[in-house]
Amino acid sequence: MSKEAVVSFTITAVLATALSVFWRQRIDSVLPAPYLDEVFHVRQAQAYWQGRWREWDPKITTPPGLYVLSIGVMRLASYALPYVVEGFTADFRATNGLVVFNLLQLRLRRLLHRVRGEYRPSKICAWELNWTAMNICLFPPIFFFSGLYYTDIAALLFVIEAYWQDLQQGATTTVWGSFKLIAIGLMSLCFRQTNIIWVVVFVGGLKALRVLKSKTTECRSTDMARIAKGSWQLHQLYDPPARSASMLDYLYSILSIILNALLNVPAILKAIIPHLVVLSAFGAFVLWNGSIVLGHKEFHTAQIHLPQILYIWPYSMFFSWPLFVVPFAVRLYEGVKTKQPHLICKSLPGVLVSVGITLIMGAVVHFNTIVHPFTLADNRHYVFYVFRILFRHPAIRYLAAPVYFVCACAALSTLSGTWTKDLTTMTGAEEPTRDSKSVSIPAEGEVTVSFILIWLAATTLTLVTAPLVEPRYFIIPWVLWRLHVPPPPIDNKSPQARILRNIPYLLETIWYMIVNAAVGYMFLYKGFEWPQEPGVVQRFMW
């Protein structure tokens, strides 16, 4: 490991850990008793700590993975530490904030190295990698729940672990690798049931794609008939880089993937055996339990809730605007400088497509908006106030449709790296030769159309079956999106290029610290009381 890597790792890891420890200590000081869902989680974990393994709270909806993990950590700590671990609320919070949070840090850095290593094998920037990992850990919903005893961080940790384990095998499958992936996949289900989608659809889908790519050649044609013929007869796969893809390219890619998959069914099935084993185990659990959730089944019935896939876009824009603002500023500068205002909006689809998608979004809002009873009955959550705004006037929720569309374009453009060429042009850097020859052929590790399709499929399946809207539900799709946001070009060493390259990371860090400070202050020091529960402090939270 280089000196730069050691220094950047140490500084960013220590900063994230110190902030997390400070946050947890402030919570323990102001709020020593469990709060909200912690009441159920801590009580159940304490039952296990006391050896009552057959006891189960019927109000808990998620499996007991976090409790078992906490008991294991605390048993080890009781032998290693000079004081007695009592099993108080603070002890369980510590297992989540100290152990799980820091394991997540390490695993994110390792996974980023794998992803970025594929993207630029010889030019990995250690500061950029470690800074990104730190910012993900400071992501407000993640950071907030690192101080409480919730299952979200542990659920994310095991999805990250499953993804990394699968990437390590590439397009091949070994017995030992399959065993490890099955074990990690099953363990991930012990923390959150929806992890089945990320392990099977996302990780398994990418595995199937790697198999297809190992058995096909690149399709260079952009004609649909030739793409279909090439896919079926010549074993060619149409999977262009997302940064230069149009709406039609997504349709052509779906067609090519389906045709090639039909030709390679045995190879795909062999490669995804571990994912199918995990899926079978989950199916057996659902049959045995009679439902996906464990408790409170009457409040957590699956419903088709399509607007959920719309809500993730302003969610991403709110938290990740620092990643959007630099490319927009560059485009604005180039548009004014060259007197070509169309450059500012060149990542948006055509007018007809934009209007059509916006109208579809409006129809989804009109016919399928679901407001869970918990959403408008609990003013402790910020979602309550968002929905109050949306329903203040009948027209507001429809006027939000263009906002969803613009935010979606911004998020997908950032993920695909469509702004890389703009930033390269502005800083005077040269684009890689292989990219300039043909925009239809992606560079190694570059985000392609197929990756976005699989990410969208997994995100959709995770969200649209949940009638309740919670920021926590968007954590895993956001993290996987953020992991694959390509870094700005690093070829140019000029001061201007360095500044432009680092501004998004710096703004992201500052923004997250501001949001975390504001949300933390409101949670700890701006409590209020309900008339029906006098003397009980209620607190604002995600």
Sign of CA dihedral 145, 147, 148, 151: positive
pLDDT digits (tens, 9 = 90+) for 43-80: 999 999 999 999 999 889 899 999 999 999 999 988 87
- Under the phi-then-psi rule, with left for phi > 0, alpha for psi from -120 to 50, and beta for the rest, what region is 296? left
The chain-wide mean pLDDT, for the chain, equals 88
Give the least confident one: 2-11, 116-125, 235-244, 301-310.
116-125
pLDDT value, residue 98: 87
Helix axes 475-484 and 126-137, enclosed angle (nearest 10): 170
Give the least confident one: 31-40, 99-108, 429-438.
429-438
- Inter-residue contact 93 to 100 (CB < 8 Å): no
Going from N- to C-terminal start, the domains of the chain cover: 1-150, 154-195+265-295, 302-542
Other beta carbons less than 10 A from residue 335's beta carbon: 17
33 to 40, 167, 389, 519: CA distances (angstroms) = 12, 41, 33, 19
Amino acid sitting at position 500: L
* Spatial CA neighbour of 61 closest among 143, 135, 150, 127: 150
95 to 30, 142, 523: CA distances (angstroms) = 19, 15, 21
pLDDT value, residue 438: 47
Give the least confident one: 2-11, 289-298, 309-318, 451-460.
289-298
Q: Name the H helices within 369-439.
A: 382-390, 396-416, 420-427, 433-437
Percent of the chain with pLDDT strictly greater than 90: 66
Q: How far apart are CA 166 and CA 210, in angstroms?
A: 11
With a threshold of 0.85, does the pTM exceed it?
yes
- Inter-residue contact 429 to 492 (CB < 8 Å): yes
Q: How far apart are CA 244 and CA 449, in angstroms?
A: 9
Place of tokens 């959403």: 375
Amino acid sitting at position 477: P
Strand partners, 541: 381
Q: How far apart are CA 476 and CA 458, in angstroms?
A: 10
Amino acid sitting at position 529: E
For the chain, give percent helix, strand, coil, nearest 5.
Answer: 70, 5, 30
Place of tokens 């974990």: 45
pLDDT value, residue 26: 97
- The residue ranges of DSSP E strands in 244-394, in sequence order, are none
Statement: residue 34 has pLDDT above 50 = yes
Q: How far apart are CA 302 and CA 300, in angstroms?
A: 6
Q: Distance of alpha carbon 487 from its chain centroid, rounded?
A: 17
Task: Please state the rounded mean pLDDT for residues 406-415.
Answer: 93
pLDDT value, residue 442: 62
- Inter-residue contact 238 to 231 (CB < 8 Å): yes
- Inter-residue contact 244 to 413 (CB < 8 Å): no
Amino acid sitting at position 345: C
pLDDT value, residue 487: 80
